[in-house]
Structure 1
Amino acid sequence: MIEVCGLTKAFADAPALAGVTASFPPGTVTGLLGLNGAGKTTLLRVIAGLERPDSGTVTLCGRRLDVHTDPMRLLGVHLDPTTMDPRHTARRHLSWLAALGDIDRRRIDEVLAEVGLADLRHRRIAKLSMGARQRLAIAGALLAEPQVLIFDEPVNGLDVPGIVWLRKLLRRLAGEGCTIVVASHLLGEVALTADRLLVMERGRVAAAGRVDEIVPTDADPREHLEGLLLGMAAA
């Protein structure tokens, strides 16, 4: 469970979040949608504790992240795969994360196999394709088997089999009770994967709820969401 209440955040007096209040229940995949600059990444970074809000609160499973004794087992974060050290191998990157979180090293090979990188474990990140880097970043988020997972554009760089794999992975994890939030521009994929939607516009929540509460029963989900975002762009 993630709960955010009254979040505000500004950068150089430009508001990125303007009173965001939302809940993300366990056992669900929430699609986080909005135009560029809507505040999606800022919201994820505040949830992850990478940005401090100007006001408001964030709780995960009922408590602030900074008071949890084992934060990596609570929250897994996928943000920008380009931030990984390109000199490290895939296995060394995960080994560093495992040491940071006091995670059993046997989990490294398990998660490499889970994301399909077992054969590339000794390849340097600089030599990996964008899709493989995405898989490695996803592996890092999964490493500690957390209760809550947040992903920022995890589909970028994945081929069609990779997209299908990720969709199945997210649905399986939600079925196991995880709270999952995914920011994505691929509206069709969001419609296929998400149970719930949070649509942001200029730092505010424009719509939130189950997919069937936001998308009319007789509407094509992708086309409806596309029209919703196009309307925001024209406003």
Structure 2
Amino acid sequence: MKEDMVELLWTGLQQTLYMVAWSSVFALLLGSLLGVTLVVTEKGGVLPAPRVNGLLSTAINGVRSIPFIILIVLLLPLSRLIVGTSLGPTAAIVSLSIGAAPFLGRIIESSLREVEPGKIEAAKSVGAHPFTIIAQVIIPEALPALVRGMTIAVISITEFTAVAGAIGAGGLGSLAIRFGYQRFRTDILIGTVLLIILIVQILQWTGDYVSRAIDRKRCKSE
């Protein structure tokens, strides 16, 4: 029984880490694009486009308002189209990435807004190109906040994988439901919870460490 539990937990852990890793990469790419676009296209931004900003903001709010379990179901046809199936960890990456991207986009938007307007205005006054301002002023200045925000987003994706497990995505969430709950395996249920807690703690510790390291390096350079 113990060997069976270890094998199940190991498989579930591998599937969860696989989903979290790839979903985080794709969500980060999409979310960064959304967050940066929201900031630079607002009125007074480096590339003002209020109409684009309004439409994008509305679309993000619309996706974020859909409960994740429903969003997964809605995206099943897209998952089937992209990866050829709607079941398993790989199929879940599609839903996880799209579901997390708007959330991450708002976090990145909030982090970028922490940059002092004076530094942006100083770059504008010397004739810096908008993309130069984005790459060399806005993003570097917001980097510690961005790291903290991305840490929160990755932890949220980890939680999302448990929800995705309820509809056949695999991972620790599926294991907790199919074996821990439905088959009354309390040992597996407790094991999955402890592993998820461990993953979240490692992610949070890593994010905090990187953020503090960037702050310390910046203080020394100043």
Structure 1 and Structure 2 fold alike (TM over 0.5): no
Comparing both structures, which one devotes a greater share of its residues to helix? 2
- Larger CA Rg, structure 1 vs 2: 2
Higher RCO structure (Cα 8 Å, ≥6 apart) = 1
TM-score by length of 2: 0.25
TM-score by length of 1: 0.24
